[in-house]
Amino acid sequence: MRRFLIILGFALATSAHASNSPLPPEVAAFIQDRDACDHFRGEPYEGNSPGQNERRGFILESLKIHCPGTDRRLAALRKRYKHNAEVMRRLNNYEKQIEGKTVP
């Protein structure tokens, strides 16, 4: 239940943010995924208690859901929308390459 509430809260926050902008749907979807990915990349995962082990599993599962393919998607979106200043302003907030970097 706790996991569901965390995911639901995060999804509502990012979807509300995305729906207030005039971004193309594929850009808004990318932003939602990459923001979730970046969030879980920054989560602590140390420790060996049962609760910490469960949390580590949740973080790893979330990374597998939100991170794969985002480097490729970002490059494609930057190419496709290179003449759209608002889209480029938003996309330039993201690192070009995160996949393959050390994760928990």
Reported as a single tens digit per residue, the pLDDT across 10-45 is 555 555 454 565 899 999 999 999 999 999 999 887
Tell me if 77 sits within 8 A of 91, measured CB to CB. yes
Nearest partner of 26 among 62, 70, 64, 59, judged by Cα: 70
> What value does the mean pLDDT take over residues 76-95?
97
**Count of CB atoms within 10 A of residue 23's CB?**
19
Residue 15 confidence (pLDDT): 52
Instruction: Evaluate if residue 81 carries a pLDDT over 50.
Output: yes
